[in-house]
Amino acid sequence: MPEQAPLRVAVDTGGTFTDCVTLRHGELRVLKLPSTPHNPAEAVLAGIARLYASDRLPGRSVELRHGTTVGTNTMLERTGARVAFVTTAGFEDTIAIGRQTRSRLYDWFAPVPVCLVPPSLRFGVPERVSAEGKILLRPSDEDLADLAENVRASGAESVALSLLFAFANTETEKRVESALLALGIPVSAAHRILPEFREYERASTTVVNAYLAPRMAPYLEGLAEDVSTQHDGGQVKVMQSSGGMLSAAAAAREPVRTVLSGPAGGVVGACRVARWAGIERIIGFDMGGTSTDVFLANSAGAPLTRESQVAGIPIGVPMLDIHTAGAGGGSIARFDAGGLLRVGPESAGADPGPICFGRGTRATVTDANFLLGRLDPETFLDGAGNLDREATERLFGEQKGSLATIHDFAAGILRVVESSMEKAIRVISIDRGRDPRDYTLVAFGGGGPLHACALASKLRIRQVLIPSAPGALSAMGILLADSVRDDSQTVMLPGEAIGQLGSVFADLEARAHADFAADGLLGNPTRTVDLRYQSQGYELNVPWDDQSPQSALESFHSLHRERYGFSDNSRAIEIVNVRLRLTAAAEPYTPARRACLPGNGRAACYAERDVYLDGQAIPSRFYHRTGLVPGDVVEGPAMITEYTSATLLHPSDRAAVDGFGNLLISIHQEDAH
**pLDDT tens-digit series, residues 45-91:** 999 988 887 766 666 788 999 998 888 878 877 889 999 999 999 99
Which residues have C-beta within 8 Å of that of residue 636, sequence separation ≥ 6? 453, 620, 649, 650, 651, 652, 653, 654, 655
Domain final residue pick, 532, 563, 584: 584
The pLDDT assigned to 61 comes to: 85
- Residues 443 and 247: their CA atoms lie apart, in Å, by 30
Count CB neighbours of 327 within 10 A. 27
pLDDT grade for 2, boundaries at 50, 70 and 90: very low
The domain spanning residue 575 has which CATH number? Answer: 3.30.1490
On whether residue 117 sits in a domain, the answer given is yes
Q: Which residues contact 192 (CB under 8 A, 6 or more apart)?
A: 254
Q: What is the pTM of this model?
A: 0.90
Confidence category of residue 116, pLDDT binned at 50, 70, 90: very high
**Alpha-carbon distances of 356 from 98, 289, 359, 389, rounded to whole Å:** 45, 14, 8, 6
Say what the pLDDT of residue 610 is.
95
Indicate if 310 and 210 belong to the same structural domain: no
Q: What is the pLDDT of residues 369-390, one digit of tens each?
A: 999 999 988 887 666 667 889 9
Beta-bridge partner residues of 163: none
Residue type, 646: A
Region 257-271: mean pLDDT is: 93
Task: Answer whether residue 528 is part of any domain.
Answer: yes
String of DSSP letters for 631-645? TBEEESSEEEE-SS-
Q: Give the burial string for 647-657 (b: 16+ CB within 10 Å, else e).
A: bbbbeebebbb
Structural domain includes residue 231:
no
pLDDT class of 670 with cuts at 50, 70, 90? low
- pLDDT at residue 1 greater than cutoff 60: no
pLDDT in tens, 455-510: 999 999 999 999 998 988 999 999 999 999 999 999 999 999 999 999 999 999 99
Instruction: Yes or no: say if 640 and 626 are a contact pair by the CB < 8 Å rule.
Output: no
For 586-599, give the DSSP string: PPP--PPPPPP--B
Adjacent-strand bridge partners of 161: 86, 189
CB 20, CB 13: distance < 8 Å: no
Tell whether omega for the bond before 352 is within 30 degrees of 0, i.e. cis: yes
Q: In sequence order, what DSSP letters do the residues of 210-279 get, joined into one string? A: HHHHHHHHHHHHHHHHHHHHHTTS-EEEEE-TTS-EEEHHHHHH-GGGGTTHHHHHHHHHHHHHHHHTT-
Q: Is the pLDDT of residue 37 over 90?
A: no
Helix (H) or strand (E) holding 396: helix 389-399
Query: Residue 307, SS3?
Result: coil
For residues 327 and 365, the answer to whether their CB atoms sit within 8 Å is yes
The answer to which of 285-294, 421-430, 528-537 has the lowest mean pLDDT is 285-294
Mean pLDDT within 280-285: 96
Torsion of CA 40, 45, 48, 49, to 10 degrees: -150
DSSP structure class, residue 603: G
For residues 338 and 317, state if they share a domain: no
Q: Are residues 95 and 178 in the same domain?
A: yes
User: Is 245 within a domain?
Assistant: no
Q: Average per-residue pLDDT in the chain?
A: 91
Q: Rounded to an integer, what distance in angstroms lies between the CA atom of residue 243 and that of residue 61? A: 25
Segment among 511-515, 647-651, 655-659 with least mean pLDDT:
511-515
Residue pLDDT, tens place only, 607-633 = 999 999 988 999 999 999 999 999 999
Do 133 and 185 lie in a common domain? yes
Q: What does residue 231 show for φ and ψ, rounded to 5 degrees?
A: -135, 50
Tell me the C-alpha distance between 67 and 645, whole Å: 20
Average pLDDT over residues 36-52: 89
- State which of 531, 552, 584 marks the end of a domain: 584
For the chain, the straight-line distance linking the first and the last C-alpha, in angstroms and rounded, comes to 71
Clarify whether residues 88 and 140 are in a common domain.
yes
Look at residue 27 and tell me if it is in a domain.
Answer: no
Q: What is the mean pLDDT of residues 506-521?
A: 92
The whole-number pLDDT of residue 231 equals 86
CA dihedral over 635, 636, 639, 643, signed as positive or negative: positive
Quick check: helix, strand or coil at residue 571? Answer: coil
DSSP-derived 3-state class of residue 455: helix
23 lies in a domain?
Answer: no
10 Å CB burial of residue 81 (0-12, 13-18, 19+) is buried
Q: Torsion-angle region of residue 2: left (phi > 0), alpha (psi -120 to 50) or beta?
A: beta
Least confident window among 101-115, 141-155, 463-477: 101-115
- The pLDDT of 109-133, averaged and rounded, is 91
Give the integer Cα–Cα distance in Å for 123 and 92.
6
What digits encode the pLDDT tens for the residues 200-248?
Answer: 999 999 999 999 999 999 999 999 999 999 888 889 999 999 999 999 9
Average pLDDT over residues 182-205: 96
Query: 369 and 460: one domain?
Result: no
Mean pLDDT of 3-23: 84
Q: In this predicted structure, what is the pLDDT of residue 457?
A: 95
Residue 310 and residue 450 in one domain: yes
Within-domain flag for 309: yes
pLDDT reported for residue 25: 76
Query: Collapsing DSSP states into helix, strand and coil, what is residue 474?
Result: helix
In a domain, 668, yes or no: no
**Residues 141 and 204 occupy one common structural domain:** yes
Stretch (H or E) spanning 408: helix 406-428
Q: How many domains does the chain have?
A: 4
Instruction: Read off the pLDDT of residues 541-590 as tens digits, 9 standing for 90 and up.
Output: 999 999 999 999 999 999 999 989 999 999 999 999 999 999 999 988 88
Q: Cβ distance 64 to 237 under 8 Å?
A: yes
34 exposure class (CB count in 10 Å sphere: 0-12, 13-18, 19+): middle
Q: Which domain holds residue 341?
A: 331-416
At residue 478, the pLDDT reads 96
If asked whether residues 173 and 283 sit together in one domain, one would say no
Q: Please give the average per-residue pLDDT across 249-268, as a whole number.
A: 93
Closest CA to 244 of 588, 488, 581, 543: 581
Helix (H) or strand (E) holding 63: strand 62-67
Are residues 163 and 150 located together in one domain of the fold? yes
How many other CB atoms sit within 10 Å of the CB of residue 152?
15
Q: Are residues 106 and 196 in the same domain?
A: yes
Whether 88 and 166 share a structural domain: yes
Last residue of one domain, picked from the residues 193, 215, 237: 215
248, HSE (Cβ side, Cα atoms, 13 Å): 23
